[in-house]
Structure 1
Amino acid sequence: MVGRKLPAAPWRWTDDTEMACSVYAVLRRHGQIDQDALAASFATHYDADRGYGSGTGRLLNQFRGGESWRDLAALAFGGGSWGNGGAMRVAPVGAFYGADLPRVLHNAERSSVVTHSHLEGVAGAVAVAVAASLRAVTPHLGGEALLQGVVPFVPPGKVRDSLQTAVRLIGADDATAAARLGTGREMAAHDTVPLALWIAARYHHSYEDALWTVAQRAEDVDTVGAITGGVLAAGAHRYPEEWLRRTEPLPDWI
């Protein structure tokens, strides 16, 4: 792959990582997704400089002001957000529960609806969590088998339809896949999750190749990268040492 010039250090993590850290911290402390604890963690650790979308930033500021996520999330965008925010942070749920798919599905949904309660937003989170759980159980799983393992658990709709297209495109080139599946430009679950999981499936043998493909093909690079990287990290993977040296440390509160 050409053009692999690394950007200067430090590599700062974005909102995707900040929210995934809250998901992980709540799982460790409660053994499940406690939605009130998760909403509180999102609000407490919200840092506007991390690249949050305007809708999520506004929502988290309202959480900070004492308003209930139960009242607010369902009203966002006139019926709940179908953005990619629930999907971008959910990989720890799949890795945490592994083979216990009922708990993966239940907790993926619970983690999403705190901010992204539309069916498509939840479907994106479910798809990513299931992919991570499959990789945790079968560390080298990839290709068509990974995608086909996810599809049956995703509710009918745009995300599932696009994932079925991703299965058919598993032998396609990167440009074709991005053109057909979306690149994250819309910041919607159905425009983000299918490409991210396609890349994870297509390049399951190489974390490095997968993330370079994200950088070259995605438009919402950090979110597609967070999903792809989270799924691959749940199974067999190797981080390039130079990447680890350049990456900003995770927050100490985790």
Structure 2
Amino acid sequence: MDSQAALNTAKDSLKGLAVGDAFGEQWSALSSGRDTSLEGPLRNRKTPPAAAWPWTDDTAMALSVGQILERHGEVRPTELARAFGESFAADDGRGYGLGMHELLPRLKTDPDGWARYVTDLFDGQGSLGNGAAMRIAPLGAYFYDDVDRAVEQAALAARVTHAHPEGVAGAVAVAVAASLCARKDQQPLPADAFIRQVMAHTPQGAVHDGLGQAAALPASTTSTEAARVLGNGSRVRADDTVPYAVWCAAQNSDDLTQALWETAQGLGDVDTTCAIAGGIVAARTGVERVSSEWLRRSEPLPDWVNT
């Protein structure tokens, strides 16, 4: 593996994830019913009105994954646990879920204990949420030349915070999708074939079954219809989030802006579905074709991402 090429591809994915996260967050008030005035702009694809688009915990945690890959070229769970904990301590107002508010302070003070703490969540079942999936696309992009390695590393990274098999499966599916999408020397696969390849590497269970539903959707299906069938992240579960986000990415694998508009139409956990779809598609496209206005409004990333 060309380590520099791998890192550059991961950074492209990370940039797309962050733009997707920041863009998707602009519609969260509409999704929750707090601001229905945004319905027209979303339906008519008008740039969200806010002058500044901050990103959320999706990007904050993805940055930690990216830092570990840049330093070591692989996941090191204790170091990743420490990075998650330190990022949370530095800024805990990024929209982290309740489970992470319980877990991440522990990881900061005792990162070596991550395997014990993560199994304490949700009465010992571990989290089956979408948090491991939302941050993992850059890792899949990094291992673009070895999908089996992407699977193994994604599962390892997921288990630092998500002990439930479905939480891990969601991360694996997204990492595989990003790994496949990042192969720029190959023509994009038809959406249904792409999703079936992702399925082939995803553990059996609810996420896998949701991907099967996604692959079977008729070509004429709209994003709104797909979200009704597959879920849109409103339950904040991996199986309610990942199939839809992967479907949106598969439908628009050569056009990041189009992918984000299509994904946002499904509402729900919009920042997370857009972060996942954005990270997958940008592994192939980068962010060069995203409008300068969007890039200017999106919260900047740390300097190391752009070097």
Normalization by structure 2: what TM-score? 0.79
| Alignment gaps of 5+ in structure 1 | none
Match of 1:118 among 140, 164, 184: 164
Match of 2:109 among 57, 62, 65: 65
Corresponding residue number in structure 1 for 2:72: 30
- 1:45 paired with 2:87, answer yes
Distance 1:91 1:163 in 2: 17
Residues 18-49 of structure 1: CA deviation (Å, up to 9, x unaligned) = 00000011011011000011000001111221
State which drifts further: 1-10 or 103-112.
1-10
Normalization by structure 1: what TM-score? 0.95
State which drifts further: 16-25 or 234-243.
234-243
- 1:76 paired with 2:135, answer no
Shift of 1:173: 1.7
Shift of 1:243: 0.7
Q: Secondary structure at the match of 1:49?
A: coil
Give the counterpart letter for 1:116 in structure 2.
H
Query: Which structure ranks higher in relative contact order (CA pairs < 8 Å, sequence separation ≥ 6)?
Result: 2
State which drifts further: 145-154 or 133-142.
133-142
- 1:241 paired with 2:292, answer yes
Q: Give the count of matched residue pairs.
A: 254
Aligned residues: CA RMSD: 1.6
Contact kept, 8 Å, 1:208 with 1:239, in 2: the verdict is: yes
Contact kept, 8 Å, 2:53 with 2:298, in 1: the verdict is: yes
Give the counterpart letter for 2:230 in structure 1.
L
- 1:128 paired with 2:174, answer yes
Give the counterpart letter for 1:233 in structure 2.
A
Shift of 1:252: 4.6
State which drifts further: 46-55 or 127-136.
46-55
Shift of 1:122: 0.5
Contact kept, 8 Å, 1:14 with 1:50, in 2: the verdict is: yes
Corresponding residue number in structure 2 for 1:137: 183
Contact kept, 8 Å, 2:84 with 2:108, in 1: the verdict is: no
Give the counterpart letter for 2:257 in structure 1.
E
Residues 116-139 of structure 1: CA deviation (Å, up to 9, x unaligned) = 121100100000000000011146
1:179-218 paired onto structure 2 within 5 Å: 179-218=228-267
- 1:251 paired with 2:302, answer yes
Match of 2:151 among 105, 112, 132: 105
Contact kept, 8 Å, 2:129 with 2:238, in 1: the verdict is: yes
Residues 150-183 of structure 1: CA deviation (Å, up to 9, x unaligned) = 0100011000000000001151122221100001
Distance 2:245 2:117 in 1: 28
Give the counterpart letter for 1:194 in structure 2.
P
Shift of 1:145: 2.3
Give the counterpart letter for 2:116 in structure 1.
D
Contact kept, 8 Å, 2:159 with 2:168, in 1: the verdict is: yes
Distance 2:57 2:195 in 1: 26
Following TM superposition, where does structure 1 have runs of at least 4 consecutive aligned residues deviating by more than 6 angstroms? none
Contact kept, 8 Å, 1:175 with 1:217, in 2: the verdict is: yes
Give the counterpart letter for 1:126 in structure 2.
V
% identical aligned pairs: 46
| Alignment gaps of 5+ in structure 2 | 1-42
Contact kept, 8 Å, 2:255 with 2:285, in 1: the verdict is: no
